[in-house]
Chains A and B, each alone.
Chain A
Amino acid sequence: MRIQLAILIILFAFITAISHAQPTQLTVFAAASLTDVLTEAGTLFDSQYNTQTTFSFGASSTLATQIREGAQADLFLSANITQAQNIIEAGLADGDMLIFAKNRLVVIIPADNPADIQSLADLARDGVYIALAMPDVPIRTYTDQMVEAMRADSAYGEDFYAQFYANVVIEGANVRQVVTQVALGEADAGVVYASDVTPDVADDLAILDVPDEFNVIAEYPLVLLNESVNGDVAREFIAFLLSDAGQDLFVKWGFSSIRPAKSWGWAVICEGNPEWSGCE
C-alpha cells in the first residue's frame, strides 16, 4: 500500500513537472505582410519566455472572417483598421486596438522591367499588366486610396484612373501573391507594402517609389481577442512588439516604427493594468 502511494505521488509530481515545463501556446492571426518580421519576433519571444507562438498568416480580411466564424486565436494583427474594427464590432474583442507598426506603399516591377515602366504615369499605358490584391484585402484598400489621390491630381486625372484599373489583370488573395506574380515576371507591376521587398525577392524586383502626396500611411492595429485563454502571455507578446527590441525588428524588415509616440489605446491598457511591463 505504501509503495503504491509513493508511486502515485511520484507520478503526480512528474506529471505536474511536465505540465509546468510545457510551453504556453500562443496563437496569433496576422496579416500576410507581417510573415517575416513576426516569424523572427516569435522565435525571439519563445526563447525568452516559455512559450510556443504559432502564426496563421493571410489576408487580414480572410483572417477576420475566420475569426468571426469561430477560428481560435489569442491575438489578431491586422494590416488596416477596418478589419480590426470588424472584429471589435462583432463583439469578439473588448479592448481598444493598438497600433504597433506602420507601412507605406511602393510600386514593384520585375527586375528586368519588361514593360519599361519608368514612372507612375506608365502604369496607365495600354497593355501593361498590373497585379493588385482582391477587394477588401487591406493593401487593395490602400491602393484604391492612392489611386483616388492621383485621380484628384490634374497631372493624372480621370484618364489615369480608368486606364489603371483597366490594366489590373490579377487580383490576388493576399499581398504576398501579388509579390510572387511580379517577382516571377508575369505581372508588369504591382502595388505592395515597402516591407514586402524582402531579401528573398529583392533581387527579382525593382522599386518605383510613390511620392508622399499620393502615398498612404498604413497603420497596423492589433486586438486581444476575448476568447484568448492566455491573456497574460498575449499581453507580454504585445509588450514585446511595442518594446524597442520589437520595434527594431519592424524597422529591420522595412516597416516604420511607431516610435516615439506610444500608440492609441495605450493609455487605456495602462489604466487597467498599471503593473504591465509596457506601462512604467
Chain B
Amino acid sequence: MKLHRLPLYLFSIIAIGFLTLPLLALILRAVSDSAWEAMSTPAVGDALWLSAWTSLITLIITFVFGTPLAYTLARYKFLGRRLILVLTALPIVLPPAVAGLALLLTFGRNGLFGDMLRSANIRIAFTVSAVVMAQVFVSAPFYIRSAVTGFMAIPQDVQEAARVDGAGGWALFWRVVMPLSSRTLLAGMVLAWARAVGEFGATIFFAGGAQGRTQTMPLLIYQLFESDLDATIVTGVLLVIVALCALLVAQFLSREKAIW
C-alpha cells in the first residue's frame, strides 16, 4: 500500500461514508420495522406515480428548451452573455419556498399574467402543470449549466472541419456537437432529474400539495413524518430505490460511445 496515498484514501472514505451512511441507516430502519402495510395506502401509489411522470415531463421540457439556450451561450458571443449565464444559476441559489412564491406571483390568479390567464380561462396554479413548472424552474439550471460546459468543451477545429465538409447549422448540431457532448448532457439530465424528483418547497407553494392531485413523494413524506414515522421511512426507502435504479440506468447508458 502506497503510504503517500493515505490522505487521498482517508478523505475519500470520509466523504463517501458521510454521503452513504444516512441512506444505510434509513434502509436498516425500514427493514427492521414492519410498516409495509403503509405501502398499500392509495396516497403512496398516487405520490409515486405523480413524481415519476411529472419528473419525466420535466426532463423532456428541460431538454427541449434548455439545449438551445445552452448551445447559444456556448457558441455565440453577444452582449449580456455573462449576465445570462449568471441568471441561469439563480434558481439554484433561491430557496425553493421563495421559488414557489415567485412562480405564484407570476402565474397565479393575481400574478403578473393573472388577468391574461383568466381571460383565456386557463388555471395554472394548484394543478399538475404547476408541479411540472416548479420542477422545471428548480432543476433546469443544473442541466443548462452542464450543457454549456459540454458544448464549450468541443474543440473549435472539429466544428470547423465539419463545416468545411459541408455540415450546415442543423446537421452540425445533430451529427457533430450532440454526439460529442452526449456524456456531459446525460450527466446534466441526471442531475436535473434528481433535483426535480426531490423538489418540495416550490411544489407545496405553487402546486398546493393536495393528496392524490399534486402531492409528490417528498410532500407525502413530509406529511407522513408527522403521523407515522414507520411509513415515512418505508416511503423514503422507496424513493431511494427508485432513484438508485434510475441513476444506475443513466450510468450504464453513459458508457455507450454516443446515444445518437
- Chain A residues engaging chain B, CB cutoff 8 angstroms: 59, 61-62, 64-65, 114, 129, 131, 134-137, 168-173, 177, 184-187
* Inter-subunit contact B209/A171 (CB<8 Å): yes
* Inter-subunit contact A65/B226 (CB<8 Å): yes
User: Which residues of B lie under 8 Å from residue A173 when comparing CB positions?
Assistant: 204, 222
- The 8 lowest CB-CB distance pairs between A and B, nearest first, are A61-B226, A170-B208, A169-B126, A185-B110, A136-B227, A136-B226, A186-B108, A169-B208
A76 smallest CB distance to B (angstroms): 14
* Inter-subunit contact A184/B204 (CB<8 Å): no
Given pairs A169-B210, A186-B126, 8 additional interface contacts (CB within 8 A) = A61-B227, A65-B229, A136-B227, A169-B126, A171-B209, A172-B204, A173-B204, A185-B108
Report how far A98 CA is from B222 CA in the complex, Å. 29
Report how far A169 CA is from B225 CA in the complex, Å. 21
* Inter-subunit contact B226/A62 (CB<8 Å): yes
Size of B's binding interface in residues, CB under 8 A = 23
* Inter-subunit contact B209/A64 (CB<8 Å): no
- Identify which of residues 142-162 in chain B touch chain A, using a CB-to-CB cut-off of 8 Å: none
Number of A-B contacts defined by CB within 8 Å: 59
* Inter-subunit contact B126/A170 (CB<8 Å): yes
Binds A, one of B31-39, B76-84, B175-183, B211-219: B211-219
* Inter-subunit contact B226/A171 (CB<8 Å): no
Question: What does DSSP make chain B's interface, helix, strand, loop or mixed?
Answer: loop
Report how far A136 CA is from B229 CA in the complex, Å. 13
Report how far A187 CA is from B110 CA in the complex, Å. 10
Report how far A186 CA is from B226 CA in the complex, Å. 26
A4 smallest CB distance to B (angstroms): 45
For B118, give the chain A residue with the smallest CB separation: A114
* Inter-subunit contact B226/A170 (CB<8 Å): no
Judge if B12 is at the interface, Cβ distance under 8 Å. no
* Inter-subunit contact B126/A185 (CB<8 Å): no
Judge if B109 is at the interface, Cβ distance under 8 Å. yes
Judge if B104 is at the interface, Cβ distance under 8 Å. yes
For B114, give the chain A residue with the smallest CB separation: A185
User: Which residues of A lie under 8 Å from residue B110 when comparing CB positions?
Assistant: 184-186
5 A-B Cβ contacts within 8 A? Answer: A114-B109, A129-B126, A137-B226, A169-B127, A185-B109
Judge if B186 is at the interface, Cβ distance under 8 Å. no
**Contacts A61-B227, A62-B226; A171 near B108 (Cβ below 8 A):** no
* Inter-subunit contact B108/A170 (CB<8 Å): no
- Identify which of residues 25-78 in chain B touch chain A, using a CB-to-CB cut-off of 8 Å: none
* Inter-subunit contact A186/B125 (CB<8 Å): yes
Report how far A135 CA is from B213 CA in the complex, Å. 15
Report how far A64 CA is from B205 CA in the complex, Å. 23
For B206, give the chain A residue with the smallest CB separation: A186
Report how far A170 CA is from B219 CA in the complex, Å. 12
**Contacts A61-B226, A62-B226; A134 near B209 (Cβ below 8 A):** yes
**Contacts A169-B213, A184-B104; A134 near B223 (Cβ below 8 A):** yes
A15 smallest CB distance to B (angstroms): 38
Most A CB contacts (10 A, CB to CB) among B127, B208, B213, B222 go to B208
* Inter-subunit contact A186/B227 (CB<8 Å): no
Report how far A135 CA is from B219 CA in the complex, Å. 12
B52 smallest CB distance to A (angstroms): 20
Report how far A62 CA is from B223 CA in the complex, Å. 9
Report how far A134 CA is from B224 CA in the complex, Å. 10
Most B CB contacts (10 A, CB to CB) among A62, A172, A185, A186 go to A186
B151 smallest CB distance to A (angstroms): 39
Most A CB contacts (10 A, CB to CB) among B127, B210, B214, B215 go to B210
